[in-house]
Chain A
Amino acid sequence: MIKETRLIMGMPIVLMTPDESVTGDNIEEVFSFFVYVDKTYSPFIESSIISRIGRGEIGEPEYSGELREIMAVAKSTKQETDGYFDVWHNGNFDPSGIVKGWAIAKAAEILAKYTDNFYIEAGGDIQVGGVNEAGRPWQIGIRNPFDRHQNIKVVTLQNSAIATSGTAIRGQHIYDPVEGKTLNEVASITVIAPSIINADRMATAAFAMGTKGIYFIEQLDGYEACAVMHDKTTIATTGWQNYEVKI
């Protein structure tokens, strides 16, 4: 079993594979790609393409093929989510919501050259291929948003992806002085999709939609989700149970 974690793009990047034939160079190739993505697309680095686009220094005709790919995903996501996902905000340009999923997907393509069995995670968003060390589908826990040391669900995944969007703030009984009642808001929403780009962008959009998010995912083909509410209940889409491990 090979497992390695590094801090890149401000988050832990985890690579795992049960195939010992995967070399250190192979692993290095994947991590190098994440470093490249960080340098090129970080909105926090002044010299990055993203910062330059934000300042109006680069126009669409000068976009690289890779950037066009990212922008195409961003554009269609905005349409598919009725504007809940937008890379432009008040004149600021930030496609990091797309870049993370895109980077994991590309990294999975690199690793897939060397093995069918892998796990790639960037800050809680995961793409898996094949099987784990035990030769079984990868078992993924869904973190309890009220207690980060606990998992509240376990799902099995094979050649698919999972992403969670939410707040890491401890659950409180939030009182709404306007409505005069305790709010029942979404603490986190986890989305399963065949690809990480889709899981990631739809989790982000669904979380922004609040309580409507889970129904938004329900109506999408090929996607399943589980929302954790602040009253410590969960709501899952109808197909979620096909992934869930019941203990």
Chain B
Amino acid sequence: MFKKLAVAGFVAVTFIIYSLHERSEGSRAAQKVSSTTPQHATASINTTTYKDGSYTGKSTDALYGFVQVRATITGGRLTDITMLDYPQDRDTSIAINTSALPVLKQEAIQNQTAQVDGISGATDTSKAFTESLQDALTQAKA
């Protein structure tokens, strides 16, 4: 149960980094992202004790490139995560003339019960972030 919570915490933090890094167009490597922790994950992260220091996770293959993070532990807690390496193709910006396009309708999602032959879904592209972070945290525990 504790392990599950801890993993959920890491995943949540990882996801924040991922979201933030997606938003940071035009910036390159070694961009610093402060780690904020959503409420539900706070408990697990705060109760996990690590040795103070900086730990660099292994470079991990993401779908669009390689991802590497450095975890900073202060007072036994994960306090900072620095992106050392992330896919370069985020640096380019795509030019889309949205004014020439219709405004697309947004609607609430709704689960469907219809019988289907198959299902299309994503393979986990943020796996690389989680892997690199977990690697860094494993070192912090040692």
Using a CB–CB cutoff of 8 Å, the interface residues on chain A facing chain B are 11, 14, 16, 43-44, 81-86, 89-90, 92, 94, 96-97, 119, 121, 123-126, 132, 138-148, 150-154, 162-170, 172-178, 183, 185, 188, 190, 204, 207-210, 212, 214-216, 218-219, 228-229, 232-238, 245, 247
Contacts and interface: CB of A to CB of B under 8 A. Distances in A.
Nearest to A245: B114
30 contacts: A44-B61, A82-B92, A83-B89, A84-B92, A89-B65, A89-B88, A94-B61, A139-B114, A140-B116, A141-B112, A141-B116, A142-B119, A143-B119, A147-B111, A151-B114, A151-B116, A152-B109, A152-B112, A162-B120, A163-B120, A167-B18, A172-B12, A185-B22, A188-B122, A204-B64, A208-B64, A208-B89, A218-B102, A218-B104, A245-B114
Contact of A152 (B12, B20, B111): B111
Contacts of A174: 15-16, 19, 38
B118 A86 contact: no
Given A167-B122, A233-B107, A235-B105, 12 more contacts: A84-B89, A92-B65, A139-B117, A147-B111, A151-B116, A152-B110, A174-B38, A212-B96, A215-B101, A216-B94, A219-B96, A234-B108
Contacts of A151: 111-112, 114, 116, 119
A89 B87 contact: yes
Contact of A132 (B64, B117, B124): B117
Nearest to B18: A167
A83 B104 CA distance: 25
B90 interface: yes
Interface residues of B, number: 58
Contacts of A139: 114-117
B15 A215 contact: no
Contact of B120 (A140, A177, A219, A247): A140
A163 to B, nearest CB: 7
Interface of B: 11-12, 14-16, 18-20, 22-23, 34, 36, 38, 40, 61, 63-66, 85, 87-98, 100-102, 104-126
Contacts of A229: 106
Given A82-B93, A84-B92, A219-B96, A183 B19 contact: yes
Contacts of B18: 167
A188 B118 CA distance: 17
Nearest to A124: B121
B125 to A, nearest CB: 6
A237 to B, nearest CB: 7
A143 B57 CA distance: 31
A235 B108 CA distance: 9
B123 A11 contact: yes
A88 to B, nearest CB: 9
Given A86-B89, A154-B114, A204-B64, A228 B109 contact: yes
B22 A148 contact: no
Contacts of A14: 118
User: Among A123, A139, A141, A148, which residue has the most Cβ atoms of chain B within 10 A?
Assistant: A141
Nearest to B14: A169
B128 to A, nearest CB: 11
